[in-house]
Structures are given as C-alpha cells and as structure tokens.
C-alpha cells in the first residue's frame, strides 16, 4: 500500500484562502477505525460552498471537502468491516469537520460507514450520492405521511439539479405523475427522459400577488429550492398534500400564511439528510438500490466525470446553478 496520495485541500486564515490539490501521507488524515481507498465521490451544492471563503460549511481548516465517498476498505480495526469490502460514507461530519471524499484515501469512524447495498455499484452509489439520498429520503418521508401515486401529481423544483433530477427519476419509477419545475429552457427533453410528464418554468412557480391560496394542484412536492418557490408550493398543494423541503437554492426566506395548513391540511416536512440514524440511512440506501433505483442510472443522468484537478471549477459551477444532473469525481 502506497503511503502517498493526492487530495483537494481547502485552507483559510485571517488573510488568505486557498483551494489546492496536494500530495499527502496517511499520517495527515484524521483518526478513524476504517481506512478507505476512495473510488468515487460526487459534487454536491454543499461542496461548492466549501470552496468559497464565506461558504460557512467547513468547521475547521485545513480540511479535505467532499461530503460523499464510495470505495474499498484497505484497513479496519472495526470488526464490522473487512479489508476489501466496498462501502459508502456520507454523514453529518464528512467533508465538514472531518476530511472527506475529495481524496484518494480517507480515514473514517466505523459508525459512519455503510456497506454498499446489493444492487448498486460504487459508481452508481456516487451518481446518487447525498443528492440522490436526499431525494429518496424526501419520497420516503412523504410516503410515511400518506403520499401514494393515486393521490395526484407530485412537483419537483430545481428539477435539473442533483436532488431534482434524481427525485424526478425515482418518482417516475414508483409510478407517480411527475411535474418538473426548471429555470433551464433547454432541458425539457432531458427532464422528459427522466420521466417528467409536465414541465413548468420558474415563472410558473411564483405567486406574485402573494395570495394565501391558489388553485390546488399538487399532492406532493420535492423542494430543494425553497425561497419564494416554497411560498408558491404551499399555496397550491391539494388537501392533505405534503411538501418535502430540503434546500435553499432559490433563497432562505419565504412568505406564507396559516391558511394552507388550517384550510387544506398541508404538511411541510423538513428534510435533513445529514442527521439521520445509521439504521434509517441504511433503509433509505436499500430503497436506492431497489424500488427507487432509477432505470439506466449511469446513462440518463449524463453523470459527467471530473478528475481531481478539475474539481475547483466543478465546485464553482454548482453554485451558479450550472450543473445538469450530477458530477462524479473519479479518484482511483
Ligand atoms: N437538506 C439536506 O439534507 C440537503 C441535501 C442535499 C442538498 N441540499 C440542498 O438542496 C439544494 C439543492 O442541492 P443540489 O445538490 O440539488 O444542487 P444543484 O445540483 O445545484 O441543483 C439546484 C438546482 O436548483 C435550481 N436553482 C438554482 N438557482 C435557483 C434560483 N435562484 N431559483 C430557483 N431555482 C434555482 C436549478 O435547477 P433548475 O435550473 O432546473 O431550476 C439548480 O440546478 C441546495 O440548497 C442544497 O444545499 C440539502
């Protein structure tokens, strides 16, 4: 086993900020019971924020970002994992306070490690990554709350993004009628291929007069956009409809009234993919490998591969809303 490997390191002081590819040794990795040779990672919105000085994601410096990784165990002092086993890691601390997946090697506490579920390859797992996990968790939570295909159409906002694309494909596979909201006029074919039956523009998803209630349309909504899109959603949900809110790509502030909640029994579910029990995480990954696994996962999404050296550009691109589907990071 070679002791030297490459990683993307973000560093910050009072006067400087840097994002650099560096050669490192295993001694420089944080403590943990499991050492993994990383095969794939993926670029998430949070990783984009990790690459800017005021992104407020990294809790310590220097740090290797990357909130997802998939690879092979090369050493484990935790009896639950064996050398040669394929695993996934995506947890609250990875790539935030503990060095993460933008590295050829990673060392992680055993409690964060999940065996790769049967039905997924390492590459497929990272095409999904935290974005796909968040989409699947949104569907799981809405279904726990009574959502079924026969309840009516489900709207996905930010539909060409990581959470959005994977949500459209998963809902379509489960038999839901899916509407996709997007700001990209050139992405309609892409969204129809994923399974969208209807496409709405960003302007369609507004409520300029801020009416408490508009015509009721949606039985469910996967919303990684938030902001005023969420205001629109709350005013257009059907009786008993459910919004699974996961993001703020369109802003953190929204306006609403109590009416959707008390006159239509609308449910607003917060989705936090980082702070879930290991048991729940495994359950959602099992669904990602079975009933929610999108058809032709490696083809439909484009799954553009990025090398370590091109990562800084990919991290900036996701913050500009310029990513369609997912960007995969190939490490070894
Ligand atoms: N809660 C959690 O656990 C969790 C987990 C993962 C991600 N997230 C959050 O979810 C959000 C999306 O993440 P992602 O990985 O899917 O990012 P992404 O790949 O960049 O997708 C975001 C999409 O939102 C749309 N969008 C961008 N700017 C917008 C604007 N100003 N107004 C309306 N729509 C806009 C774009 O899609 P269109 O062009 O198609 O509209 C964009 O592709 C982020 O806020 C992220 O932090 C949260």
Structure letter (DSSP) for residue 15: S
Q: Is residue 275 part of a domain?
A: no
Say how far apart CA 48 and CA 107 lie, in whole Å: 22
Query: Quick one: which atom of ligand 1 is closest to the CA of 44?
Result: 15
Q: DSSP letters along 150-195, please?
A: GG--EEESSTTSHHHHHHHHHHHHTT--EEEEES-GGGHHHHHHHT
**146 and 104 within one domain:** no
Reported as a single tens digit per residue, the pLDDT across 245-265 is 999 999 999 999 999 999 999
Same domain, 261 and 139: yes
| Same-domain check for residues 57 and 165 | no
Q: Give the mutation target among 57, 66, 161 for probing the ligand 1 site: most ligand atoms within 8 A of CB.
A: 161
Where does the pLDDT of residue 323 fall: very low under 50, low under 70, confident under 90, or very high at 90 and above?
confident
The boundaries of the domain holding residue 177 are 130-270
Please state, rounded to an integer, the average pLDDT across all residues of the chain: 95
Residues in the chain: 332
pTM of the model: 0.94
**pLDDT 10s digits, 271-280:** 999 889 989 9
Beta pairing, strands 69-76 & 4-12: unpaired
Q: What residues does ligand 1 touch, defined as CB less than 6 Å away?
A: 44-46, 130-131, 134, 158-164, 182-184, 202, 224-225, 229, 246-250, 271-274, 318, 321, 323
Residues forming a β-bridge with 305: 328
Predicted local distance difference test score (pLDDT) of residue 120? 96
Average pLDDT over residues 304-323: 90
Q: Is the pLDDT of residue 302 over 70?
A: no
Ligand 1 mean position to 180 CA, how many Å?
Answer: 13
Sign of the dihedral defined by the CA atoms of residues 55, 58, 63, 67, in that order:
negative
Query: Domain end: 248, 270, 292, which one?
Result: 270
Return the residue whose CA atom lies nearest to atom 31 of ligand 1.
250
| Residue 281 is assigned to a structural domain of this protein | no
Question: How many angstroms is it from 46 CA to the middle of ligand 1?
Answer: 10
Same domain, 159 and 197: yes
The per-residue DSSP string of 87-98 comes to: EEE--SSBTTTB
Q: Are residues 160 and 65 in the same domain?
A: no
Residue 127 pLDDT level (bands cut at 50, 70, 90): very high
Between residues 303 and 163, which one has the greater pLDDT? Answer: 163
Of ligand 1's atoms, which has the minimum distance to the CA of residue 49?
A: 47
CA–CA distance, 42 with 46 (Å, rounded to integer): 11
Q: Please indicate, yes or no, whether residues 165 and 259 belong to a single structural domain of this protein.
A: yes
Distance between Cα 129 and ligand 1 center (Å): 14
Is 195 found in the same domain as 325?
A: no
């Amino acid at each position: 086993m070679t002791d030297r490997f490459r990683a993307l390191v973000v560093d910050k002081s009072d006067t400087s900020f840097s994002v650099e590819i560096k050669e490192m040794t295993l001694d420089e990795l944080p403590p943990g019971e499991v050492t993994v040779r990383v095969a794939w990672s993926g670029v998430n919105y949070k990783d984009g924020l990790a690459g800017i000085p005021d992104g407020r994601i990294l809790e310590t410096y220097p740090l290797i970002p990357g909130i997802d990784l998939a690879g092979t165990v090369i050493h484990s002092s935790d009896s639950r994992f064996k050398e040669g086993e394929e695993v996934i890691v995506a947890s609250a601390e990875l790539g935030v306070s503990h060095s993460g997946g933008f590295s050829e090697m990673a060392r992680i506490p055993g409690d964060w490690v999940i065996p790769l579920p049967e039905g997924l390859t390492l590459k497929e797992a990272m095409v999904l990554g935290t974005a796909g996990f968040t989409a699947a968790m949104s569907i799981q939570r809405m279904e726990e709350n009574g959502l079924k295909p026969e309840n009516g159409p489900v709207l996905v906002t930010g539909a060409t993004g990581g959470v959005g694309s994977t949500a459209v494909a998963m809902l379509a596979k489960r038999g839901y009628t899916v509407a996709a909201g997007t700001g990209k006029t050139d992405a309609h074919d892409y969204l129809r291929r994923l399974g969208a039956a209807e496409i709405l523009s960003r302007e369609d998803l507004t409520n300029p007069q801020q009416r408490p209630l508009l015509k009721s349309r949606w039985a469910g909504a996967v919303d990684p956009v938030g902001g005023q899109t969420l205001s629109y959603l709350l005013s257009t949900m059907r009786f008993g409809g459910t919004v699974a809110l996961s993001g703020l790509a369109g802003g953190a502030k929204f306006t609403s009234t109590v009416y959707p909640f008390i006159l239509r029994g609308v449910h607003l579910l917060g989705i936090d993919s980082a702070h879930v029990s290991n048991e729940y995480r495994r359950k959602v990954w099992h669904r990602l490998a079975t009933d929610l696994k999108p058809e032709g996962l490696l083809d439909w999404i484009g799954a553009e591969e990025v090398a370590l050296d091109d990562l800084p550009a990919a991290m900036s691109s996701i913050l500009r809303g310029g990513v369609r589907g997912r960007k995969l990071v190939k490490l070894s």
